[in-house]
Chain A
Amino acid sequence: MTGYVRPCKARLAEGDFEIFRAAYCGVCRALGQRYGQVYRSLLSYDMVFYAVLIAREPFETRQRRCAVHPLKRRGAAAAHPALMAAADATVLLAYGKARDNAADSAFWGRAAARTGLAAMKRAYRRASRFLPETAAAMRENLKLLGALEAERAASIDRPAAAFSGILAALSERSDTGERTKRVHAEVLRHVGRWVYLIDAADDFAEDMRRGLYNPIAARFGLGGSMTEEIKEEMRRTLEMSRSAALEALDLDESGAYTPIVENILLYGLAAAENRVFEKLQS
């Protein structure tokens, strides 16, 4: 399953893991119901995070069986605005990724390629009706991202901002007023920068091997491998984004699942970061 943005189970409060799992199953079901069974393969942790972030009312959970887990009955969250928004966002972003064909990014989901661009067109149109601002931001920012990549921009912040601008636009579905919208846009913006950069770190070795644009290599003028100093620098700047996302989250006062979101930002992202950088060391 794809996505860096997931909780640290060991540190979740009792019962919260079941909620996260129910949200996961809920987004999956929403994908099936709103777009068709094949779209369930696009599911990513990042979008479950989004659902948990914007949920204002608790999910209603029902025991269900599904094709993916035919033997077990599991709590799945029933239809909920946050789950539907996450399903729409999943389809929209997957289409953007497929079209961008800048491949490789785990965030967008490799399954997108399998599903096929042409087949996705209708689903994309439907998703953009539900997320018009995000669809517009995506069109604009993918163009920008393409240009930055083509010119091999020596910046980590600028391509990251093009990407995180798309995620920030998803706050259009935060439906409890302007204040919450601003808070969510900020959380998503910082998380988006983190996702883009952790992905760049994760892909570093392969990008180098294949001669592809890698923002970290371009920013620090690296040829083959990432020096210890640059790794430290990257970890610092990733940490700044994580910290800023939490500071923004502290201003969200009406979330249904703030402790889960907090767990993800505080521990889940740190764990993903450790995994990526430990792999880089070897």
Chain B
Amino acid sequence: MDPYAVLGVDRKASMDEIKRAYREQAAKYHPDKYAGHELEDLAQEKMKQINQAYDTIVREREGGGGSSSRGRYGGNAGAWGAPGSGSAAYAPVRELINQGRLDEAESMLAGFSHDAEWYFLTGAIAYRRGWFDEAQANWRNAVTMDPSNPEYQQAFQYARREPTYGGRSSYSYGNPERDLCQCCTALMCADCLCDCCH
């Protein structure tokens, strides 16, 4: 694959332009954003391509030998599978969740008593399904039952974070002023298609 095409830059682009394009792409597909997401694997694949493209260009331009991977963004393991997290009993459930086998994970959870980790994993299943209300409620329970657990805290904060709109949050839309579409509200968007389709 053409590394320049992957980063969306011209072959004649300066190194600064390439770095900027790389940073933009990396921010867009950053694994943290897709943690616990149904399409996490696709985002990781994309991130790998971006890293490889950047490395290839740096190597080409520096005539090889240069340590190109300095400062690049890494990927992480499955969202709920960081080695050593959680109790051994729940390990197979975590594995299933990371594989996206959510129904199976849910049936397996049915055999456990409802402790903090149970709520945490139930929340992880909900999150991956896009059931954001239930994800948050379950993670809140996990945090309440075991406030000292950093993994549960992190998940709960994650569910309460400002939505990123795929890294577009820097354009400042929405909360709390919801200025995003104030311009569009009623005045424009409400009728924005009225002249086209009736």
Residues of chain A at the chain B interface (Cβ within 8 Å): 1, 6-11, 17, 20-21, 24, 45, 68, 155-158, 160-161, 164, 179, 182-183, 186, 189-190, 193, 219, 236-237, 239-244, 246-251, 266-268, 270-272, 274-275, 278
Q: Is the CB of B185 within 8 A of A275?
A: yes
How far, in Å, is B130 (CB) from chain A's closest CB? Answer: 5
Q: Is the CB of A240 within 8 A of B132?
A: yes
Q: How large is the interface on B (under 10, 10 to 19, 20 to 34, 35 or more residues)?
A: 35 or more
- Nearest B residue to A193 by beta-carbon distance? B130
Q: Is the CB of B131 within 8 A of A157?
A: yes
Q: Across chains A and B, which 9 residue pairs bring their CB atoms closest together, nearest first? A: A243-B163, A9-B192, A157-B131, A271-B189, A271-B184, A240-B132, A270-B181, A274-B185, A246-B166
Q: In the bound complex, what is the Cα–Cα distance between A12 and B35 (angstroms)?
A: 31
Q: Is the C-beta of B33 less than 8 angstroms from some C-beta in chain A?
A: yes
Q: Is the CB of B39 within 8 A of A45?
A: no
Given contacts A11-B184, A251-B42, contact A246 B168 (CB under 8 A): yes
Of B38, B163, B189, which is within 8 A of A10 by CB?
A: B189
Residues of chain B at the chain A interface (Cβ within 8 Å): 28-29, 33-34, 37-39, 42-43, 46, 126, 129-134, 136, 163-168, 173-175, 178, 180-186, 188-190, 192-193, 196-198
Known A-B contacts: A193-B130, A236-B175. Give 17 more (CB < 8 A): A6-B189, A45-B197, A240-B163, A243-B163, A244-B130, A244-B132, A244-B163, A247-B33, A248-B39, A250-B29, A267-B180, A271-B184, A272-B189, A274-B182, A274-B184, A275-B185, A275-B189
Q: In the bound complex, what is the Cα–Cα distance between A21 and B195 (angstroms)?
A: 10
How far, in Å, is A271 (CB) from chain B's closest CB? Answer: 4
A sample of 20 cross-chain residue pairs with beta-carbon separation below 8 angstroms, ordered by A number, consists of A8-B184, A24-B197, A68-B198, A155-B133, A155-B134, A157-B134, A161-B129, A219-B133, A241-B132, A242-B163, A242-B165, A247-B33, A247-B164, A251-B39, A266-B173, A267-B189, A270-B184, A271-B181, A274-B184, A278-B185
Q: In the bound complex, what is the Cα–Cα distance between A237 and B196 (angstroms)?
A: 32
Of B173, B188, B198, which is within 8 A of A270 by CB?
A: B173
